[in-house]
Structure 1
């Protein structure tokens, strides 16, 4: 069986590396992007099964990235899980609604919840 592919997007390289290791240990094929433009490009050409997307990034925020992905016929059906530590629940829900994102999770050092959510989405 082919490994499910996840695109991890975060401008904090230490977070990106930690998530990459955790998801690889779970048996996923992992690709990474450290900015929104690269994430969009990789999503179009690599066709990941799911994207974990940081909300707060310098060049283009996660909401804008997700919106652009949902507008493109080649990426519109890829599930997006937002990850954030800087926004309130109300702001997070607004970004999720405006961009068509599936789930909003708080960024945490403990990745169990994120991995459980990803496993659940990709197993259904």
Structure 2
């Protein structure tokens, strides 16, 4: 049996974070190993929990997306970063993808889309 994909959920909204953790917790093959509510916590908790994938809310306050993405993707065995956004795409999201994020997905995406994307970026990382 394959090891589960380890996921860190980062969102400053406690309700949104709780709902995402609940969505992922019901999926076989996924394990939420950490949560974070700001940019500094994302980097620290990723270093401690060593997730395969980080789901990063793009619009968190006090978040320098490029610094956080660079710190995560630049680490040896660093996690793949998926940006969760309110909108399909814009210049800022495109820049974050160029900075090292692996993918972007709107927060309202269907469960199967989210799970498929997590599995895809985790497989590319491994």
TM normalised by structure 1 equals 0.83
Structure 1 residue runs of 4 or more that deviate by more than 6 Å after TM superposition: none
Work out the CA distance in 2 between the residues paired with 1:111 and 1:58. Answer: 26
Give 5+ residue unaligned stretches, structure 2: none
RMSD: 2.1
Q: CA deviation at 1:88?
A: 4.1
Work out the CA distance in 2 between the residues paired with 1:21 and 1:10. Answer: 14
Distance 1:88 1:109, change over 3 A: closer
* Contact 1:55–1:63 under 8 Å retained in 2: no
Q: How many residues align?
A: 121
Distance 1:63 1:85, change over 3 A: farther
TM normalised by structure 2 equals 0.82
Q: CA deviation at 1:64?
A: 2.7
Q: Structure 2 matches for 1:61-76, cutoff 5 A?
A: 61-73=64-76, 75=78
Q: Which residue of structure 1 lines up, in the alignment, with residue 117 of structure 2? A: 117
